[in-house]
């Protein structure tokens, strides 16, 4: 294993967030949470909790990610499954479905630039932990270019072979 250095291209701070009606309440809470933490966050909708189709808002987030490859996306629906499937149909978007800290960090280590979660599946505090972990973990690559090291702000490490 080689010497590791911070992969600055993969340490991003611009966030695009979207939901459907089933994820609307969490989206509003997460939006404020991320703004309070200093992230530049763009709300891609919806603007109200009225019934809507998740692919419409998943597509809006994905189009922004395609324009800004250094940005990250957050998608929230009832289960997270529909949003993740919809997002993964877009070229250049790799969306992981997360339901805990471990899946959030591993999504980043596996190269995801977007994360999906379900308002009906997890509590809001877990949702905040998942999103914060996904957005703030530091990614390192080795000078040997054969390993990826993902370190969260608590110092926990995950090493993946490329």
Residues 98-129 have pLDDT tens digits of 999 889 988 988 889 999 999 999 999 999 99
64 and 84 Cβ atoms separated by less than 8 Å: no
Q: How many CB atoms lie within 10 A of CB 40?
A: 11
pTM: 0.83
Which residues lie across from 43 on neighbouring strands? 17
- Determine the average pLDDT of the residues in 144-154: 56
Instruction: State the catalytic residues.
Output: 77
Mean pLDDT of the chain: 84
Strands 4-6 and 138-142: antiparallel
Reference 18, options 82, 66, 77; nearest CA is 77
Q: How many CB atoms lie within 10 A of CB 132?
A: 19
């Amino acid at each position: 294993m080689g010497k590791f250095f911070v992969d600055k291209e993969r340490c991003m701070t611009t966030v695009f967030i979207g939901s459907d009606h089933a994820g609307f309440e969490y989206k509003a809470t997460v939006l404020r949470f991320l703004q309070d933490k200093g992230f530049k966050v763009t709300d891609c909708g919806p603007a109200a909790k009225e019934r809507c189709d998740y692919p419409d808002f998943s597509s809006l987030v994905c189009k922004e990610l395609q324009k800004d490859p250094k940005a990250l996306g957050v998608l929230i629906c009832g289960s997270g499954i529909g949003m993740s499937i919809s997002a993964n149909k877009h070229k250049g978007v790799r969306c992981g479905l997360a339901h805990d800290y471990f899946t959030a960090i591993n999504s980043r280590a596996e190269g995801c630039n977007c994360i999906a979660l379900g308002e009906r599946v997890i509590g809001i505090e877990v949702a905040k932990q998942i999103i914060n972990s996904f957005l703030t973990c530091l990614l390192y690559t080795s000078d040997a270019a054969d390993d990826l090291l993902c370190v969260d702000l608590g110092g926990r490490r995950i090493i993946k072979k490329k």
